[in-house]
Structure formats: C-alpha cells, structure tokens
C-alpha cells in the first residue's frame, strides 16, 4: 500500500512548515495534574499519575510506575 505523499515546504522566514498542522500532539491541560511528562527510561509521554520519581545518575528522574514494560502491557490490552 502506498501512502499519500505529503509535500512539506519551509516558509520564506524558515520557521514554519506549510503542511504541518498547527498545535501540539499533547492535549491541553488547565491544571498541573493533567500534564504529561516523558519517562527518563523509555521516553514515552505519560500522565503524571502513571509516573514516579527515581534516583538515576544522582538526580531524581521521572519514570513509568511500576515499570515501562508493565505499563505498556496495561495500556495495550
């Protein structure tokens, strides 16, 4: 199956793509609790309620809770 070819062009100022849809792929949230963060281990964006902090490389980093693999299995099913 051939995908539809999207032609992107940079505007003269070099900052915007004509074919790019405006906005963010992440939903807008009015409160801090609804925001997403990326996991330090797998890089996927998750809601903060699915994350926890863990000491990695001497700093507190946000990671998936209980683990990236377990959370992937829960969201896939």
Tokens, residue 63: 């990671």
Q: What's the pLDDT band for 53 if we cut at 50, 70, 90?
A: very high
CA neighbours closer than 13 Å in the CB half-sphere of residue 60: 3
Residue 21 belongs to a domain = no
Overall domain count for the chain: 1
Residue 36 belongs to a domain = yes
Q: Which phi and psi (to 5°) does residue 15 adopt?
A: -105, -25
pTM tops 0.95, yes or no: no
User: Containing domain of residue 65, as a range?
Assistant: 32-76
For residue 12, is pLDDT > 80?
A: no
Residue 56 belongs to a domain = yes
Residue 62 belongs to a domain = yes
Residue 12 belongs to a domain = no
**Least confident piece of the model among 6-10, 37-41, 55-59, 61-65:** 6-10
Residue 7 belongs to a domain = no
């Amino acid at each position: 199956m051939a995908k539809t070819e999207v032609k992107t062009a940079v505007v003269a100022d070099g900052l915007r793509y004509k074919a790019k849809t405006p906005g963010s792929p992440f939903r807008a949230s009015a409160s801090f609790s609804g925001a997403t963060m990326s996991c330090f281990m797998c890089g996927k964006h998750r809601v903060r309620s699915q994350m926890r902090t863990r000491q990695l490389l001497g700093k507190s980093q946000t990671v998936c809770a209980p683990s990236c693999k377990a959370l992937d299995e829960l969201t896939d099913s």
